[in-house]
Structure 1
């Protein structure tokens, strides 16, 4: 397969890098994957972008759609969720609220974090 150089928005590239790490892909491979999904989204006449948006926003049910259409919608949904998860940072909010939280250390052990306290 022959590749072509192209310019990619920095934010999109960063999102592809994060999503790609989750899927064991490079950022370039993730962008290629997303481009193929986009191509498939636009190709079938049975599912339009408007139909996908209606399902993703809760305005329509996905249950009556063919399996292939449901799969396309699930992929779009997964991409949106991955992008949103990438931008989450609850630590700042919990610290501001003075709420403790639990996270895993490098060995996978649960560690309780107490904001405003020197002990962990």
Structure 2
């Protein structure tokens, strides 16, 4: 069915950002999300030297310092998205423990918790 709306879920953070940006741009949150999606689609569809250079920098074949200002904006946006997508899947405490490092996190009660490389933990005293 051409032109039919489909239900799509977005993260709460992204939706709230769309609400705020939409207010500034006189768009609804939905219109703002569609606007961002079209911008992203347009950037992804770019061919030629611009896109090739950004992709080369993302792959590490071109130093990012050699990108033009416009290419750097696209590069930074791609990096931001990659970080946002990877964060929920990375266990930094486990990765640091495997390297022999300690980590400190905050538990649900607001306590600082030290994670030791051997898998042990201890609540740090308040200062």
Say whether the fold is shared (TM-score over 0.5).
yes
Match of 2:50 in 1: 47
Higher RCO (Cα < 8 Å, 6 or more apart): 1
Could you report, residue by residue, the CA deviation over 1:88-109 in whole angstroms, capped at 9, with x for unpaired residues?
A: 1245667899975310235755
Q: Which runs of 5+ in 2 are unaligned?
A: 20-29
TM-score between the two structures when normalised by the length of structure 2: 0.54
The range that moved more, 69-78 or 35-44, is: 35-44
Count matched residues: 109
Alignment RMSD:
4.2
Indicate whether 1:6 and 2:6 are aligned.
Answer: yes
Larger radius of gyration: 2
Q: Which runs of 5+ in 1 are unaligned?
A: none
Cα distance between partner residues in 2 of 1:92 and 1:6: 39
Match of 2:62 in 1: 60
Q: Which segments of structure 1 move beyond 3 Å, counting only runs of 4 or more?
A: 23-26, 28-32, 43-46, 90-101, 105-109, 113-117
Indicate whether 1:86 and 2:88 are aligned.
Answer: yes
